[in-house]
Chains A and B, each alone.
Chain A
Amino acid sequence: MIRLYLEGAKCEIKRMLQYKANSLFYLTVVLIPPLALFFLWKTILSHGGSIGGYNLSDMVTYFIVTQFFVMNTPYSAWIEIGESIKDGSLSLWLTKPVNHYLLYLFRLIGSWILQWIFGIAGVIVVSIILKDYVVIPKEASTYFLSILFWMGGIVIGFSYGYILNLLSFWFERSTYIIYFSEGIVALLSGMLIPLDLLPAKSLWLFLPFKFCGYVPAQIFLRKISGLDIVFEFVSMAIWIFVLVSLSHLVFKIGSRRFTASGG
């Protein structure tokens, strides 16, 4: 059965290969924000020292990693799901024996793979430019665990966006709800500032968005280790279960309201 969803991802990869030049420009998106943040934090920490346990190297590495992880979580394609409800093209999938959630998850992953490749190239370029400030772990397990949590973060981020898009079953237009939610994810994933530096951090660290950027980056910096990783893993698994179940429930209830407008 998984072959069907992999084929969905493959179709998207083939489609994106038609737009190679567009994907190449994505490099600039990955390159510029970490460089800008580097100069900001270099100014803040110009006299040495650290903030909340983060020195300049930690900050630079943190932002390179979170920028890559968060910006490469396929949020922007969420909107397609809501539009398909509004314009009636959801009918194409309702009449096929497919799991709509999995289908879109795999299609979106497929559509982002090319950008991930360019994203990794961007990370390497930034790391070379800022080589004196970047912490590069030596253990393969650190990379493995960071990527594992990032993948969990993708499922969490996608599920959250999927549920918001399904609001189109109830609302005429949910575009701004989705834009607002993207802002929430950007803040609460730790992309803009490490979550443990925010006030009321225990609340933000309870929410699932931390897995989209903050937790993978903390593992990369080896600020989380041992039993804490196990705890975070269990917490992530519970959030995935809750959000995936909720996605299916909302789809089931919402599709009863579907009016399939248009021919």
Chain B
Amino acid sequence: MSRYVIEVANLTKIYRRQVKEAGLIESVKSIFKPLYEEVEALRGVSFNVGEGEIVGYIGPNGAGKTTTLKILAGVLFPTEGEVRVLDEIPYKRSKKFLSKVSFIMASRGFLEEVAWDLPVLDGFYFIKEIYNLSYSEYKNRVDKLSEMMKIEDILKSPVRNLSHGQRKKAEIVANLLWEPKLILLDEPTLGLDIFSQNELHNFLKEYVKDYKATVILTSHNMKDIEKCASRVIMIDKGRKLYDGDIEGLKKKIFGRKFIKICFDEVFDESLEKKFLSIEGVSVISKEENCLTISAEESISKDVAKEILNKYNISDIEIMDPTLEEVVYRFYSEGKEND
């Protein structure tokens, strides 16, 4: 038995898709001579994930995140490379494997498919039968997870009458009723308000702690990753670019601190120029009487001391950049280098 829940080695996925120029003549031509292009969604991606880890799997649109999840869930066949999940080959879709994995998709939901006009509980009951749960197991899990996710009051409402957020939460509960060992979550907070996002973050951490589950989480919302994940894997154009903890990423990619300085009065441009003349310092943003600069981590303390000594300031704050800022910078620098 492997010590990893997920083992991925040199994973490659190539799609073939039809292409054609715009226009009626081109459409007619494509009937007789269709043209195809190959799209490399994943190119030699490798990583391992251990039990109980929550891994943030991030990248821009079209990076290959959802394709990876679909391969891990057994939906897609890899073109090349090896994948083992819970000691099984996912695309063989053995009952044993499928009974231990949950794939929660961004835009499609099981409850919407089977219970759109029916109460949420009817959808949950269908899950009970699919995974052959005893009634007491089913009842206990529905009670516990509904309480954790705070959806007790919507269980008897038809799915179509629920708000997007309520539906999403019910969907997540439905997909955890069989206590999966691996949860693949694709954009879980898409369209959720900040309260629901927070509830989901807390729920996820609590669930993993209680059930020792492993989670792979893709999201464009970096708060999801910062609040839930202990490790992050970054991909772009089908290639893995980073695999490690979030702090390491911030140091490796950014290596800077933000210093927000608020002055007693509105500052003039000469002051801004003075800061810019310090090596390793750049101005990030300006407000009426506050200035945010970024300084290389090695000199940030000295810069802060100098500011305190030289200027009349009302407040000063040294901050780490957010993951969102790090990721944005990382990918935009990558684009410039292309």
B41 vs chain A, min Cβ distance (A): 10
User: CB distance B108 to A97 under 8 Å?
Assistant: no
A88 contacts the other chain (Cβ, under 8 Å)? yes
Q: Which residues of B contact A89 (CB under 8 A)?
A: 108, 113
Q: Which residue of B lies closest to A98 (CB)?
A: B130
B108 and A91 within 8 A (CB): yes
CB nearest neighbor in B for A103: B130
In chain A, residues 49-99, which have Cβ atoms closer than 8 Å to a Cβ of chain B? 88-89, 91-92, 94-98
Query: Which residues of chain B have C-beta atoms less than 8 A from A6's C-beta?
Result: 129
Chain B residue, CB-CB nearest to A87: B108
For A94, what are the chain B residues with a Cβ–Cβ distance below 8 Å? 73-75, 93
B53 within 8 Å of A by Cβ? no
A95 with B118, Cβ < 8 A, contacts A258-B75, A258-B76 known = no
A8 to B123: give the CA distance in the assembly, Å. 10
Indicate if the CB atoms of B186 and A15 lie closer than 8 Å. no
Whether a CB of chain A sits under 8 angstroms from the CB of B63 is no
A263, B108: Cβ atoms under 8 Å? yes
Q: A260 contacts B126, CB within 8 Å?
A: no
Stretch with Cβ within 8 A of A (4 or more), from B94-102, B197-205, B232-240:
B94-102
The reply on A256 being an interface residue by CB < 8 A is: yes
Shortest CB–CB separation between residue B125 and chain A, in angstroms?
Answer: 7
- B187 with A260: CB separation less than 8 A: no
| A223, CB-defined interface residue at 8 Å | no
B126–A11 contact, CB under 8 A?
yes
Does B15 belong to the interface (CB within 8 Å)? Answer: yes
A260 and B95 in contact (CB under 8 A), knowing A92-B105, A96-B130?
A: no
B107 within 8 A of A: yes
Q: Contact partner of B110 among A1, A8, A92, CB < 8 A?
A: A92
Query: Chain B, interface size: which category?
Result: 35 or more
Establish whether residues B118 and A262, one from each chain, have CB atoms under 8 Å apart when the complex forms.
Answer: no
Q: Quote the shortest CB–CB distance from B191 to chain A (angstroms).
A: 12
Complex: how many Å from CA A15 to CA B115?
8
- Asked if B114 lies at the interface with its beta carbon under 8 angstroms from chain A, I say yes
Q: Assess A91 versus B70: contact at CB under 8 Å? Given A3-B129, A11-B126.
A: yes
Given A15-B117, A91-B70, decide whether A263 and B105 contact each other with a Cβ distance below 8 A: yes
Shortest distance between the CB of A86 and any CB in chain B (Å): 13
Task: Find out whether the CB atom of A260 lies under 8 angstroms from the CB atom of B115.
Answer: no
Chain A interface size, under 10 / 10 to 19 / 20 to 34 / 35 or more? 20 to 34
Contacts of A258 in B (CB 8 A): 75-76
Task: Give the chain A neighbours of B99 by CB distance below 8 A.
Answer: 97
A97 touches B130 (CB 8 A): yes
Q: Which of A14, A92, A97, A262 contacts B122 (CB 8 A)?
A: A14
**Contact of A7 with B by CB under 8 A:** yes
Q: Is B77 an interface residue (CB 8 A)?
A: yes
User: With A14-B118, A258-B75, A262-B108 given, is the CB distance from A7 to B70 under 8 Å?
Assistant: no
Highest count of chain B CB atoms <10 Å: which of A6, A94, A258: A94
Encoded as 1 (CB less than 8 Å from any B CB) or 0, chain A from 252 to 263 comes to 000010111011
Asked if B98 and A96 make an inter-chain contact with CB atoms under 8 angstroms apart, the answer reads yes
Of chain B, the residue at the smallest CB distance from A90 is B75
A148 interface residue, CB < 8 Å from B? no
In the bound assembly, the distance between CA atoms of A98 and B114 in angstroms comes to 14
Whether B129 pairs with A7 at a CB distance below 8 angstroms is yes
Q: How far is the CA of A94 from the CA of B187 in the complex (A)?
A: 20
A96–B186 Cα distance when bound, in Å, is 17
- Complex Cα gap A98–B66 (Å): 23
Q: Does A4 contact B (CB under 8 A)?
A: yes
For the complex, what is the distance from the CA of A21 to the CA of B132, rounded to whole Å?
35
Q: Which residues in A have their C-beta under 8 angstroms from that of B130? A: 4, 7, 96-98
Measured CA separation A11–B70 after assembly (Å)? 27
Taking a contact as CB atoms under 8 Å apart, the answer to whether B114 and A11 are in contact is yes
- A259 to B41 CA separation, bound complex (whole angstroms): 11
* Contact (Cβ within 8 A) A263 B76: no
Closest A residue to B113 by CB, please name it: A92
- B74 to A95, Cβ gap below 8 A? yes
B103 contacts partner chain A, Cβ-Cβ < 8 Å:
yes
Contacting pair A263 B106 (CB below 8 A): yes
B129: chain A residues at CB < 8 Å are 3-4, 6-7
Q: Is A18 an interface residue (CB 8 A)?
A: yes
Interface residue ranges of A1-27 to B (CB < 8 Å): 1, 3-4, 6-8, 11, 14-15, 18
Contact at A8–B70, with CB atoms within 8 Å? no
**CB < 8 Å neighbour of A92 from B74, B108, B131:** B108
Give bound CA distance, A8 to B108, whole Å: 18
Chain A residues near B125: list those with CB within 8 A: 7
Cross-chain contact of A95 among B101, B107, B115 (Cβ < 8 A): B101
Across-interface contacts of B123 in A (CB, < 8 A): 11
Interchain nearest-CB distance for A103 vs B (Å) = 9
Pull 17 A–B residue pairs with CB atoms less than 8 Å apart, ordered by A.
A1-B132, A7-B126, A7-B129, A11-B114, A14-B117, A89-B108, A91-B108, A92-B110, A94-B73, A95-B74, A95-B103, A96-B98, A96-B130, A97-B99, A260-B76, A263-B107, A263-B108
Q: Taking A1-B132, A94-B75 as given, write out 7 further A-B residue pairs in contact, using a Cβ cutoff of 8 Å, ordered by the A residue number.
A: A7-B126, A7-B130, A91-B75, A94-B73, A94-B93, A259-B15, A263-B105
Q: Which 4 A-B pairs have the closest CB atoms?
A: A263-B106, A7-B129, A263-B107, A97-B98
